[in-house]
Amino acid sequence: MSLSCILRRTSSFLSSPLLLAIFFIPIAQAEYVPAKTDSVSGSTHRITLRAAPLPSGQFGYQMVSHKIQTAGGQTEDVTARYSDKPTIPGPAIVMTEGDVAEITLENGIPNTDQPVSLHVHGVHFDIRSDGTMKMLNGVADEAAFPGKPYTYKWTAAPGTAGTWPYHDHTFGNPMLGAEDKGLFGTLIVNPRSGKVPALINGKIEDVNVGDIKREFILWMHETTFWGMEVNNILKGKQVPLWTNPTVGARLGEKVRFHVIGLGTAFHTFHLHGHRWLNPGTTHVVDTVNIGPISRDTFVVQAGEGVGTGDWHFHCHVIQHMQAGMMGDFKVVK
Amino acid sequence: MSLSCILRRTSSFLSSPLLLAIFFIPIAQAEYVPAKTDSVSGSTHRITLRAAPLPSGQFGYQMVSHKIQTAGGQTEDVTARYSDKPTIPGPAIVMTEGDVAEITLENGIPNTDQPVSLHVHGVHFDIRSDGTMKMLNGVADEAAFPGKPYTYKWTAAPGTAGTWPYHDHTFGNPMLGAEDKGLFGTLIVNPRSGKVPALINGKIEDVNVGDIKREFILWMHETTFWGMEVNNILKGKQVPLWTNPTVGARLGEKVRFHVIGLGTAFHTFHLHGHRWLNPGTTHVVDTVNIGPISRDTFVVQAGEGVGTGDWHFHCHVIQHMQAGMMGDFKVVK
Amino acid sequence: MSLSCILRRTSSFLSSPLLLAIFFIPIAQAEYVPAKTDSVSGSTHRITLRAAPLPSGQFGYQMVSHKIQTAGGQTEDVTARYSDKPTIPGPAIVMTEGDVAEITLENGIPNTDQPVSLHVHGVHFDIRSDGTMKMLNGVADEAAFPGKPYTYKWTAAPGTAGTWPYHDHTFGNPMLGAEDKGLFGTLIVNPRSGKVPALINGKIEDVNVGDIKREFILWMHETTFWGMEVNNILKGKQVPLWTNPTVGARLGEKVRFHVIGLGTAFHTFHLHGHRWLNPGTTHVVDTVNIGPISRDTFVVQAGEGVGTGDWHFHCHVIQHMQAGMMGDFKVVK
C-alpha cells in the first residue's frame, strides 16, 4: 500500500475536527469495571511456533513445542501430536473455554530482515498480543524478527467458543502480511459445556465434543482446499492433508468440519450426501457462502442416511471446480 | 479440467502416507446402527425426466411422467402439472418429509455420446444415486447415456425439509456438468409438520404450507433470473417464467420465494416493499447474499403493509442490475 | 441499460401466455383485510432532504430540516444534529417502531434535468413512495426533479426494526440510480421493546437501546469504508467520518456497529479484538460476509476482554486491504 493510502485512513475526506474532540470529551459516567472474564480456571498452554519456509517457496507455521499445564498443576507435553515440519494450514491449536495460551513465535525464514506475526481471531488478548505492527496498533511491532521471538497471550474466555483463524499480519508489506503465502492456521475453542448442537438422525440435538472422532479443517484459498485432520481417536494426532484432500471416516462416526476462507475469492462449500445446521440457527443447509476468513463449522454423522461411499466435496463456484477445487469424504464401514 | 488437476486431488502436496492408514485403522467401537430414517411412511413419486435441447442451444430437463402413489395405495398421475417441453429451470419436484422418489433420467440430447445426470442436494440417497461419474464416486457412471436411462432414488427423510437444487454433474467436461447450460431444477421438501415460520403482520408465526398460494422459484445465473411458478391454487400447475420475469399475486396471499444461485457469480437478492425472516433465525431482512447453489427461501404476505403495486425485485450488485437482472412482483387486488 | 434489456424483462424467453392469465383468474377467496400495522402510535418525523454535489464531484444527501412531533403533540426541531452540508453516507435517520416519516426530497444538483429519488428498505410505504421511476413501478416518476420536490411517507411498523439503507433509484441511467456516486444513507429503526440482543461479558443478553452510547455506521463501497457516527451521548449528534475512518469509544461503553455494502464488490468485515452475535442467531462471529446492500448490525462493549487500544477493522479480502480498506476503533479509558 502506498503512503498516500496510509495517510488517507488517518485523515478525513473533508476536515472533521469534531471527531477527535468527541471521544475525549470527559463526560461523567459510572466507572467501568470489566467483568473478570480472563480469570483462569482451565489449562495453560505453553506453545512455541516457528514460521519457516516450505520446499515450494511458500511459508508455514511449525509446532516446536506444546505443553499443557492443567488447573491441577500437571503438565503434559503434546508436541508429538503435530507434524515436525511447517505445514499449510499451520498446527490446529485446540483449547477449551477457560484456557489460556502463551505462544512464542520464532522467525525461521532465512535471508530476510522482515518480521512475521500471529494475529488471532475470537479470543481475548490485550493490544500487545494483536499481532499487528506499530503503525496500526500504535504500541509496538508485535512480531518476531530474525533472532527475536515474540510472545502472545490468548485467553479463551467464556463466550469465545468457536473456530477461529490465526494468521500473519505483518510480513513483506506491513499492511498485507504473509497470510497469503501460507502463514495461517486454526484455533478451535471448545465450549466449557462440552456440547455443540448438530443435526443428528434428522433432529437437532446436543453432541458431546468428546464424541467427535475427527476434525476436518478445510481452508479455501483461491482455487485450492488446504486441509488438516485432527484425529481424536489418536488423541489429537494432526495429519496434514495438503491440497484438495481425501478425508475419511467410519460410517456413523461423528465428525466435525471447519471450513475457512482466505485470500480474495468467495466460495460456496458443498458436501455431497450430507446436510447440517447453519451455526447458531435451526436452518438445515448443504451449501454455504464462504468469504475470506469467514467460516462454517458443523458436525455430521458420517454417511447418515446415505451410507458408505466416496462423498465428493467441492466449491460450487463453477470456475473454481474447473480449477480442481474439490476433495473426497470417504465413508467406510 | 486438465488431467494434472484431476491427479492433484488424489495426490498430496507432500507425501502423506499417514492419511490412508488412519481411516482404516481397525479401532474397536460400538457397532453403528443407522437410524431408520429411510422408512417410507409417505408417498412414492415415480418420475421420468428427460434432458433435452432448447431452441436456444441450451439444455433443459423436461417432465415426461410423474405418478404419485400414496401410502394408502392410490396412484395419481400429475404429469399435466408440468410443461410438456424442457424448461430452464427444470420441473419443480414437490415432496413431503417421508416421501421417496424414483426418478428415471433419459438422455434426449441428439448427436452426442456424452452422458447427463441428476445430482440432488439435501435428501438421502445411497452412493449409486449421487449423480456423479465413477472417477469421483468410485462406483459407477451414474448418468444417462443416449438410449440408456439411469434411475435414482431419493428419500425425503425427516430433517430434510427445505429447498434443494438438482442439476447435472457430468456432461461435456466430466468434472463440470452441463448445469451451466440449463440442466438444473428445484426440489421442494415440505416439512411433515405442515408448518413453516414466517414474518406475518410484523410477527414471527407458523404458516400452514397448505395456505401458500404460489411458489416463485428464482434462479440467479450470472446476470439473469430464471423463474418457475408453482401455482397451488391450480393444484400445483407449473408455469415456466423464463428470464427476468414478472410474477404476480393477489394482495394478502401467502406466497413463498425460493431464490437459488448458480454458476460463478455472487448476488444480493432484494425485493422491494417486503421483508422476511432469514431462514432458521429471527433476523428480518430484505436483501440476502446468494452464491452459486446457496439459497434463501421465505414466505411473505403479498403487499403486507405496502398494498398493491409493481414491486421490483433485482440483484443489488450494480453491474448485474445494469445488465438487466431484475423482475417485477405484481400485487393486485 | 439498453432498451433491449428493458424489453427483456417484460417479455419471455419463449411465449408464456399462461402467466398473465394466472394472476388475474378470479378465484373466490375470503376478502383480505390487511392488519392495521400502519396505525401511528409513535412520533411523526417531518424531514426535508436535499441531494447536492460535493466538492469531489460526487453527490450526497444533506439534511435541510428534521422536526419530530410526538404522539403527545409536542414538536422538537432536531436539525442541528446533522451536518449542514451533503455527506457520504447521508444523514442517519433514527426512528422507533410505530413512528412515521414524511420526507420531502429536493433536487439540488445544478445543471441537470435528471431526477434523484429515495428508495428505502425494510419499512412500509405504498407504491407511490417506492422511489422508483414509472417504467418500473407503473405509477409515477417518484423522484425530485430540479425545482420539483417529491414527498415520501415511510411507516416503521412493528416488525421493521433493523438497520436499513436508503438510496437513489433513478439518476442518470434510469435503472441504475446515482447511489454509486454517493446518494445513499442509513435508516435505523429501533424496536419498540427498547431492547436488542448482544453478547455481553461472554453471554447473550438484551441490551437497552438507551444504553448504546455511539452508533458507528460503516458503508463498504468497492475498496473504501464511508462512515458516520451517531453520538447518543451528545443527543444524536451526527459526525461525518468520511473515508476509512478512526472511530472511538471509552472502555466499556456499549456501541453499535452498522455495516452495509454498496456497489459491486463482496467483502468480509473484521474488527480486531471483539466478537459479536450474528443477527437473529446465537452464533458468535468476528468476520461477516457483506455484499452490496446486505448488512450486519451488532452491539459490542468497547474493549471487552481486551482493554484499551487501537483496534483495527478492515475488509479481510486481501486486495481490498491492500487498497487501504481499513480503519481504527480506538478504545480509551
- Determine, for residues A242 and B9 on separate chains, whether the beta-carbon distance falls below 8 Å: no
Q: Which residue has the higher pLDDT, B62 or C40?
A: B62
Q: Which pLDDT value is given to residue C252?
A: 98
Query: B95 vs A277, B66, B79, B185, CA distance in Å?
Result: 21, 12, 15, 14
pLDDT in tens, B147-176: 999 999 999 999 999 999 999 998 655 556
Please tell me whether residue A18 adopts helix, strand or coil conformation. helix
Q: Which residue has the higher pLDDT, A41 or B109?
A: B109
Q: Are strands C254-262 and C212-221 parallel, antiparallel or unpaired?
A: parallel
Q: Which stretch of A161-175, A313-327, B192-206, C25-39 has the lowest confidence by average pLDDT?
A: C25-39
Q: Which pLDDT value is given to residue C179?
A: 86
Q: Which pLDDT value is given to residue C175?
A: 52
Closest partner residue to B280 (CB to CB) among A237, A251, A281 is A281
Give me the DSSP letters along A266-320.
Answer: -EEEEETT--EEPTTSS-EESEEEE-BT-EEEEEEETTTTT-SEEEEEEE-SHHH
The band of C187, judged by pLDDT with boundaries at 50, 70 and 90, is very high
Section C27-54 average pLDDT: 72
Q: Which pLDDT value is given to residue C40?
A: 53
Q: Which pLDDT value is given to residue C27?
A: 40
Q: Distance (Å) from the C-alpha of residue C87 to the closest C-alpha of chain A?
A: 10
pLDDT of B282 > 60? The answer is yes
Closest partner residue to B246 (CB to CB) among C10, C160, C279 is C10
Q: How many interface pairs between A and B have CB atoms less than 8 angstroms apart?
A: 190
Q: Is the dihedral of CA A176, A181, A183, A189 positive or negative?
A: positive
- Determine, for residues B136 and A330 on separate chains, whether the beta-carbon distance falls below 8 Å: no
Assigned C-alpha cell, B105: 433420467
Assigned C-alpha cell, B82: 408440468
pLDDT in tens, B303-321: 999 999 999 999 999 999 9
**Cβ contacts of B302 within 8 Å, gap of 6 or more:** B249, B250, B251, B252, B253, B254, B255, B329, B331
pLDDT of A68 > 90? The answer is yes
Place of cell 499492511: A175
pLDDT of A31 > 60? The answer is no
Q: How many interface pairs between A and C have CB atoms less than 8 angstroms apart?
A: 190
Q: Which stretch of B329-333, C112-116, C200-204 has the lowest confidence by average pLDDT?
A: C112-116
- Determine, for residues C241 and A14 on separate chains, whether the beta-carbon distance falls below 8 Å: no
**Cβ contacts of A294 within 8 Å, gap of 6 or more:** A260, A261, C268, C285, C287, C288, C289, C316
On the 0-12 / 13-18 / 19+ scale of CB atoms within 10 A, A1 is middle
Q: Which pLDDT value is given to residue B54?
A: 96
Give me the DSSP letters along A154-196.
Answer: EE--TT--EEEEEE-S-SSSTTT-SGGGT-EEEEEEE-TT-EE
The band of A322, judged by pLDDT with boundaries at 50, 70 and 90, is confident
pLDDT in tens, A91-118: 999 999 999 999 999 999 999 889 999 9
Give chain C's largest Cα–Cα span: 68
Give me the DSSP letters along B54-93.
Answer: -TTS-EEEEEEEEEEE-TTS-EEE-GGGS-SS-BSS-PEE
Section A285-302 average pLDDT: 98
Closest partner residue to B283 (CB to CB) among C32, C37, C279 is C279
Q: Which stretch of A8-17, A144-153, C247-256, C314-323 has the lowest confidence by average pLDDT?
A: A8-17
Query: B323 vs B17, B317, C5, C8, C316, CA distance in Å?
Result: 50, 10, 7, 11, 28
d(CA A206, CA A204): 7
Q: Which pLDDT value is given to residue A176?
A: 62
**Cβ contacts of B314 within 8 Å, gap of 6 or more:** B270, B320, B321, B325, B326, B327
pTM of the model: 0.91
pLDDT of A233 > 90? The answer is yes
pLDDT of A198 > 60? The answer is yes
Q: Phi/psi at C179 (nearest 5 deg)?
A: -55, -35
- Determine, for residues A305 and B121 on separate chains, whether the beta-carbon distance falls below 8 Å: no
**Cβ contacts of A332 within 8 Å, gap of 6 or more:** A248, A249, A250, A251, A308, B23, B24
Q: Which pLDDT value is given to residue C174?
A: 55
Q: Which pLDDT value is given to residue A13?
A: 38
% of chain C at pLDDT higher than 90? 82
Q: Distance (Å) from the C-alpha of residue A14 to the closest C-alpha of chain B?
A: 27
Section A222-251 average pLDDT: 97
Section B208-235 average pLDDT: 98
Most C-contacting residue of A1, A14, A260 (CB-CB within 10 A), to test interface: A14
Place of cell 455511539: C214
Q: Taking CB atoms and an 8 Å cutoff, what residues of chain C touch A122?
A: 275, 284, 286
Cα angle vertex A113, ends A110, A119, to 5°? 90
Q: Distance (Å) from the C-alpha of residue C125 to the closest C-alpha of chain A?
A: 30
% of chain A at pLDDT higher than 70? 86
Q: Which pLDDT value is given to residue B178?
A: 79
Q: Taking CB atoms and an 8 Å cutoff, what residues of chain B touch A279?
A: none
pLDDT of C10 > 50? The answer is no
Burial B226-250 (b: 16+ CB within 10 A, else e): bbbbbbbbbebbbbbbbbbbbbbbb
Q: Which pLDDT value is given to residue A40?
A: 53
Query: A170 vs A176, A194, C168, C323, CA distance in Å?
Result: 6, 35, 40, 16
Q: Which stretch of B248-252, C112-116, C181-185, C215-219 has the lowest confidence by average pLDDT?
A: C112-116
pLDDT of C197 > 70? The answer is yes
Q: Which chains touch B (3 or more CB pairs under 8 A)?
A: A, C
Burial A105-141 (b: 16+ CB within 10 A, else e): bbbbbeeeebbbbbbbbbbbbbbbbbbbbeebbeeeb
